Structure 1
């Protein structure tokens, strides 16, 4: 049996937002999710293609079929389930995608501890937040860092793409916070 080599989280590109260290912010021109769903089809495709490689396992904790469709189309492996009925701790994934707040466990610290345990070194957690609450992203980032995950990238999803040379008012609908588990083997804090 061949040993599978784990790959590092992708190197993000774009503008920087303050942080320790500064975190890149990227605008993705994708449509808004339908009511009651976590993301649009285009968002699912971008997450799968940008944050995983073929044969990587993705844990889908979102509402709606969009991520599942993207996983199937990209020929990735998935663990799709309702976390209220079955545990997902024993799976080792490259990407975990969730809406916010998670359905189980109720406490953000517990949720991110489970994520860290379930991620391969260099794996990512993508947290989808409705845009508008300025405090919520800070709380999510703090809980993830406390669990030992590092804040890697901030993606702003907007209906219209920004246009070069023109001042464009973005219609932002979703903030996607990308957290990562460090690939270091020393067991130290990632955040």
Structure 2
């Protein structure tokens, strides 16, 4: 006799790497960033509020003032500067936000540096213009080689389709959330 109230979870389908759990995809309805900027003000606010707590340290490597404004409004602490080889500070951060790509260093070296400046459980948010399907994969592979885990994929869309409409999402930005796991004692992160 079988228990009719007990069902197995569905098998995930789609872009799943064998042995890796599926990464959740979240849609954020936020405005498109202005030309030459990594994110809109609303995107900056959501990143800061969703990924940090008051007094957490944030390293801002993004183009434009949006993240800096969000950090100040949310009463977080920050190192605000361009992605240069010096000047990240000595204190570890809860969140590092960056645009992509970085021309000064290899992707793996950049993520090794990020990992070294993150608290256990801290995150790196990589903000990408939507469109290049290979770029997120390259970023995730480099991050994993540096010991970071792929935690979440955020899709930012200007407008969401309304119920009953066939309109597609107006996606403008992808944000890859990578994390330094809090595993201690010889276990590997990522």
TM-score normalised according to structure 2 size = 0.86
Task: Using the TM superposition, give the Cα deviation of residue 83 of structure 1 relative to its aligned residue in structure 2, in angstroms.
Answer: 3.0
Structure 1 gaps of 5+ residues are 1-15
CA offset digits 1:114-173 (Å, max 9, x no partner): 010000000000000111111100000000000000000000001002445554411101
The answer to whether the 8 A contact 1:154-1:178 is kept is yes
Greater Rg over alpha carbons, structure: 2
Report how many aligned residue pairs link the two structures: 175
| Cα RMSD (Å) | 1.7
For structure 2, the 5+ residue unaligned runs are 1-13
Q: Does 1:107 find its partner at 2:106?
A: yes
Matches within 5 A, 1:12-91: 18-19=16-17, 20-84=20-84, 86-88=86-88, 90-91=90-91
SS in 2 for 1:111: helix
**Alignment TM-score, normalising by the size of structure 1:** 0.86
Matches within 5 A, 1:40-189: 40-84=40-84, 86-88=86-88, 90-104=90-104, 106-164=105-163, 166-189=165-188
SS at match of 1:23: coil
- Matched residues in 1 for 2:32 and 2:156: separation? 8
Contact 2:58–2:78, Cα closer than 8 Å, also in 1: yes
Cα deviation for residue 81 of structure 1 reads 1.1
Moved over 6 A (4+): none
The worse-fitting range, judged by mean Cα deviation, of 154-163 and 48-57 is 154-163
Q: In the alignment, what sits opposite 1:190?
A: 189
